[in-house]
Structure 1
């Protein structure tokens, strides 16, 4: 039992463990470097330091003192968040306290593999594997060497075995300690550890006194301080929040007395110990030793793999289904999908064709390569439509490839379009595909068909027609169940538009908690980004209605903008919601309409409820990327959605500029008028690599496209190029 556990834990987690170990070893150098440059803390009270920094650092919000003795001041000045290292004795600002880009990169790699919560769970699983590996490895080593009493005896055998055993004995305890402390820290991140509650209190309302005179701070040695957060200026009833090595409390700024205090519990103390042992903060030498031990992990992985080389399993429990290469397939199945739904239909078709004896290659339309389809007898194209008849994400460049064909493929094609008949360009991209193929002289296998709103009946009807055309039986298995709807509870709403007979609301829903199992299995209401879609299922109808999300899961809520449509079932039900009510909904990814993480400027253009995802991009713009918003509404006093937020985001630097147009005022204007007014600036931003993102009604989007064609290139080629490069995207309705 021990040997299989050790073997499969090692083989399954070798790569991830090597990545986390090497990044952890690199990170262990930073606490050591900080310890070498650290200076002793002055023998003063926390109150003296707070008073000194309050006078020398404008906009001071928080002071932190690390276990190694470093002092950092956090401030907010002129709309920018600043962080400084300071001299505790003089209060003098020494330098900006910014972690290097490399350190941030290593930290994200080490903690989550750049995959957010899912990556954290993968790292936790790898840490559990590491713990299992070290314990089982020590047991196997003792068995191999003749018992626990001979655990330190010299190893014999091939070099790979000796090196594996020696490194395991040398670093095993340190690796087990790193894994155990990492698991503990992750448990705290996911809220699995008990939290210490705070008693209630009432703060005074008199003007704040100097921190140096406050009893709670005057008698506190600076070495015991960990964090002091100042009250927000002008916020009545706000207090000082104090965290020390002994506990957490709140201080009345008027009297300087402690209003409430809670001593650190056992989980807090263990958390501090785990942080020190895992990161080396406050124990730099130990951190370096753990870092050195981590360097053995890749070597242990390689030597372990070397010992497994040549070994064969005793028997085969089953046969793995292998992907069919395009050169070997008689059926090529190309998929153009935006949110992933069309891939599900493609998989059902692939399985049916395979059961009928066909060899099927499945790939994205963007990977269209007819020169590789050596044995193909048919090419089946399942194409969804994005925006106003545009190519979906996995079909970019397909039309250009077809248009440049010197010779049409010998295998005939068939097109099945996917879309929503509520939109004017229903299956518009599929029609463009068919027209381009016919213009290239490509023979058509059968008449095209369309699937409306993911209808399984429409799909099954086309599959039966395909089976008749091929003269074979195609048996479609039932579609796998989609994600279970989740009940979302409304926590707040902001109403607009009553004055112009267009009731509109910003609805904010609480995020349901996800259990640890749901996180591991990818279930529940998972992570999302602004621009993804919330599929709401109204009462009395199973067909979902899609709303663009104006928030990301990191904001802690799901927010959408809704306008009530006459006779609209879903919009009517949403507009009738009161805080505490709930709706059924599921998430649908919309990766083509994400802001992305690069630093290129964004030109955001929207009207009405189309501002939803654009507001979400601004809210999440903590890196202060240049975002330029053009927003159209009816009147400023009735339906300027997110009006107060836009002002604040511009002050914070999350929005570089905001331009608004109102269609029901004396100066009647639309967003396309604003673009023409700012033609020079828009052209300059595009030349600097800016992306353009448009969200709102189709008429608005059409007017915006015409304005941009006039601004960028009278022939319209520039806009076509931007679309092909993914620098012009739309989310229209």
Structure 2
């Protein structure tokens, strides 16, 4: 929800917000220029009377004196029937330059304040200030969430370059943007009379004026009593009208002065509302605070960076979703299809179902399971197609479905059917689909079909389920699914490290570089690479031991006797190429922040764990428990782990080997270190497990035993997000 609040306004208003930001950058230079043009501070002790006397020597037709917040003194005077505006040196009264605003600066100011569109433009600018405030606040919370809490806002950023640049620009720009948007909203509200600015509390215009001949301006007592540093504006009386008066505006208040006697006829100090307005205006513009102007300008420069990278992030997410034609609105559809998918494969099946139902005449809405609405006014049936992540968990786009279902108001007369996608070799095959089916039954919804499954993306099993669904709906339904081929990158094998031949477990660390002149795709350690072996359209996934920043794509592969892809990779010669694509796996990586991380793996499961350690440049505590067969033949990453221990990227290494005299498995090491393990987890440590299903099951049992004295177990850690698995 927070991400939607952040992204939707940004996408809609990106161009206008960038216009305001870039014009703000131009205007932020104005206080600096004013600072450079201002007179030395020693001259600020002059009285206005002394300044006026000096000015009169050169400009007999003076109409107005002004001192800007930056300290620049400006004189407006009549000459040859025209008004001229110049900057002067208050010490000598001589001209130092033209004070007319440049075309660039005036254009930027008009564009910034009203988009060159008058009152409608000012309304839009006010709305954009509100959008910027929403973006700044939501971005601040998303940033804190990304790095693991407010305390860690300064820690290094990781991830694809678009996300890193977006987050880095936000981290630097948000304080200034918060200030600019809040003050901009206030000034817009003042412009449209929604808030007072104190300007209405002007002093009463004098009704009794001496009306005598004007005295020399240098002799006027009221002007002698006011220092130049307090001056904002002095408007001279009409020389042809003896009853006219001087109009004086100072930092503290405004008043009128008799031109004949120099006495103050009336004066009113600024009230709290006016003082607040002055402060807000100064904070928004940086007027008189050149350093603040530069900071605000630098913050505004972050807006184009965040807008462009934010748009690219949205576009990448958008492209990852299949394009669904004729997708009806959720509240007008009679049939709902909700999808849970980790690698978008299930979306392909759901798209096929959607197209078939639309062609049959139904009004169908398809969406991720996380998008479950509180109610659907016209829906008669709910069809759920979902895969399972890891060992029975929900895929990313279905994580919040059960929580939303518990508080929804779905009509119990709606019929439902659940179809699970998975791999039957996993012990918890389609477990999440089973959980969803039970939850819908518990809510009182009516099953249209008994829960069914599809094993290993079988198009035959999918077609069989479609026929059963059509029979229930009273309409023949033929589901012919042709899986989309993933767009791939060509990668060339550049290095191979072989292990495990002596213990009959051939294992290789393989490192690839981009083929030809292409670039590596964006990925992090812990993400997955899908590799398409020759003669197969079904990708095999391997956990990545490197990130794009390492310059190589690195995986650990054990050769399986009948493994199509593992044999292909082991036989691949140096210089040979593969076709591969990246599947992000953001839920399997160390959480941001400083709490310790416990890494547990066996065999090739060490791959992503080694990648996490390699990237641990912040030296947060990391403890590795890993199991192999024999230290002499298959101690993967041995030398590299030694270097990480030496430079403290790895805090401790506990290795266990099962083919030596003192046979040990990784779960044995966990139990042996029970006290240290309990201490770390009790202090907030996160546990990451990677390896085979059997290993993960044994590790879970060992940890349950270790954590029992703390009244904790693995299920509770999972619920807290502190136990994450990548098992196969």
Aligned partner of 2:511 among 508, 511, 518: 508
Q: Distance in 1 between matches of 2:632 and 2:27?
A: 55
- TM-aligned CA deviation for residue 535 of structure 1: 1.7
Query: Which residues in structure 2 correspond to 1:51-66 (within 5 Å)?
Result: none
- Tell me what 2:713 maps to: 718
* 1:417 aligns to 2:420 (yes or no): yes
Name the residue aligned to 2:551.
556
1:81-480 equivalences in 2 (<5 Å): 114-115=163-164, 292=297, 324-325=329-330, 327-366=331-370, 368=372, 371-396=374-399, 398-399=401-402, 409-438=412-441, 441-472=444-475
Task: Compute the displacement of 1:531 (Å).
Answer: 1.4
CA distance in 1, matches of 2:382, 2:623: 44
Supply the distance in 2 between the matched residues of 1:16 and 1:334 (Cα, whole angstroms).
35
Q: CA deviation at 1:296?
A: 10
Equivalents in 2 of 1:392, 1:571: separation in Å? 26
Q: How has the CA–CA distance of structure 1 residues 672 and 103 changed in structure 2, closer, same or farther, with 3 Å as cutoff?
A: closer
C-alpha contact (below 8 Å) 2:24/2:300 kept by paired residues:
no
The aligned residue for residue 599 of structure 1 is 594
Query: Following the alignment from structure 2 to structure 1, what is the Cα–Cα distance between the partners of residues 514 and 488?
Result: 13
Provide Cα deviations, 1:685-725, integer angstroms capped at 9, x if missing partner.
22333221111111110011111111223798632222223
* Cα offset, 1:497, TM superposition: 0.7
Alignment partners' CA distance in 2, 1:353 and 1:444 = 19
Q: CA deviation at 1:669?
A: 1.3
DSSP-derived class of the 2:701 partner: helix
Q: Alignment partner of 2:587: what SS?
A: helix
1:542 is paired with a residue of what secondary structure? coil
Choose which of 560, 566, 570 in structure 2 pairs with 1:571.
566
1:624 CA drift (Å) = 2.3
Q: TM-score, normalised by structure 1?
A: 0.55
1:677 matched to 2:681: no
Following superposition, the deviation at residue 560 of structure 1 comes to 0.7
Q: Shift in Å at residue 288 of structure 1?
A: 7.9
Task: Note the C-alpha offset of 1:415.
Answer: 0.9
CA contact (8 A) 1:26 1:291 kept: no
Q: Cα distance 1:381–1:295, how it changes in 2: closer, same or farther (>3 A)?
A: closer
**SS in structure 2 of the partner of residue 592 of structure 1:** coil
Residues 497, 678 of structure 1: CA spacing in aligned structure 2 closer, same or farther, 3 A cutoff? same
On the 8 A contact 1:630/1:671 being kept in 2, the answer is yes
Match of 2:61 in 1: none
Tell me, in whole angstroms, the C-alpha distance in 1 between the residues paired with 2:300 and 2:710: 59
Q: 1: distance between equivalents of 2:301 and 2:488? A: 46
1:622 aligns with 2:671: no
CA shift, 1:634, in A, is 0.9
CA gap of 1:345–1:727, structure 2 versus 1, over 3 A, is farther
Q: How many residues align?
A: 463
Structure 2 CA distance for aligned equivalents of residues 375 and 392 of structure 1: 28
Do 1:27 and 1:103's aligned partners in 2 also have CA atoms closer than 8 Å? Answer: no
Per the alignment, residue 692 of structure 1 pairs with: 687
Following TM superposition, by how much is the alpha carbon of 1:290 offset from its aligned partner in structure 2, in angstroms?
A: 11
The answer as to whether partners of 2:28 and 2:293 remain within 8 angstroms in 1 is: no
Answer yes or no: is 1:707 the counterpart of 2:708: no
Max Rg structure:
2
Indicate if the aligned counterparts of 1:414 and 1:447 stay in contact, CA closer than 8 A: yes
Once the two structures are TM-superposed, the CA of residue 589 in structure 1 deviates from its matched residue by 2.3
Out of 451-460 and 111-120, give the one that drifted further. Answer: 111-120
How far did 1:15 drift?
Answer: 5.6
Residue aligning to 1:610:
605
C-alpha change, 1:543 and 1:113, in structure 2 (3 Å) is closer
Counterpart Cα distance in 2 of 1:586 and 1:108: 20
Q: Is the 8 A contact 1:636 1:662 kept in 2?
A: yes
* Cα RMSD after superposing both structures: 4.5
Alignment counterpart, residue 491 of structure 2, candidates 488, 492, 506: 488
Shift of 1:623: 2.4
Structure 1 residues 417 and 514, CA gap change in structure 2 (3 angstroms): farther
Q: Quick one: structure 1 residues 684 and 102, their matched pair in 2 at CA, closer, same or farther if it must change by over 3 Å?
A: closer
**CA-to-partner distance for each residue in 1:226-282, whole Å, 9 max, x for gaps?**
xxxxxxxxxxxxxxxxxxxxxxxxxxxxxxxxxxxxxxxxxxxxxxxxxxxxxxxxx
State the Cα deviation string for residues 137-173 of structure 1 (Å, max 9, x = none): xxxxxxxxxxxxxxxxxxxxxx99xxxxxxxxxxxxx
> What's the offset of the Cα at 1:338?
2.0
TM-fit CA distance, 1:416 = 0.7
Unmatched 5+ stretches in structure 2: 1-10, 34-150, 170-190, 193-289, 305-323
2:578 maps to 1:583: yes
Contact kept, 8 Å, 2:348 with 2:484, in 1: the verdict is no
Contact 2:616/2:649, CA 8 A, preserved across alignment: yes
The TM-score with structure 2 as length reference comes to: 0.55
Q: Distance in 2 between matches of 1:291 and 1:439?
A: 55
Change (3 A) 1:707 1:347: same
Following superposition, the deviation at residue 384 of structure 1 comes to: 0.8
Secondary structure at 1:653 match in 2: coil
C-alpha distance in 1 between matches for 2:302 and 2:547: 36
Using the TM superposition, give the Cα deviation of residue 407 of structure 1 relative to its aligned residue in structure 2, in angstroms: 9.4
Aligned equivalents of 1:12, 1:555: Cα separation in 2: 36
Cα distance change, pair 350–108 in 1 and its aligned pair in 2 (3 A)? same
CA–CA distance in 1 between the matches of 2:651 and 2:451? 47
Aligned to 1:640: 635
The whole-number CA distance in structure 1 between the counterparts of 2:603 and 2:28 is: 47
Q: CA deviation at 1:346?
A: 2.7
Query: Structure 1 CA distance, aligned partners of 2:666 and 2:158?
Result: 39
* Alpha-carbon displacement from aligned partner over 1:271-306 (angstroms, at most 9, x marks no partner): xxxxxxxxxxxxxx999889759959999xxxxxxx
Evaluate the alpha carbon distance shift between residue 420 and residue 713 of structure 1 in structure 2; reply closer, same or farther with a 3 A threshold.
same
Q: C-alpha displacement at 1:489, in angstroms? A: 1.1
Aligned-pair CA distance for 1:540: 3.1
Whether the 8 Å CA contact 1:534–1:587 is kept in 2: the answer is yes
SS at match of 1:562: strand
* Alignment deviations for residues 499-553 of structure 1 (CA, whole Å, 9 cap, x no partner): 21111110111134676xxxxxxxx862111112222222233332211111111
Distance 1:387 1:452 in 2: 15
Which piece of structure 1 moves more, 349-358 or 557-566?
349-358
1:32-51 equivalences under 5 Å are none
Whether the 8 Å CA contact 2:459–2:481 is kept in 1: the answer is: no
Are the structure 2 counterparts of residues 695 and 358 from structure 1 closer, same or farther at C-alpha, using a change threshold of 3 Å? same
Question: What is the rounded CA distance, in whole Å, between the counterparts of 2:570 and 2:24 in structure 1?
Answer: 50
Secondary structure of the structure 1 residue equivalent to 2:703: helix
| Counterpart for residue 310 of structure 1 | none
SS of the residue 1:494 aligns to: strand
Corresponding position of 1:631: 626
The offset of 1:660, in angstroms, is: 0.8
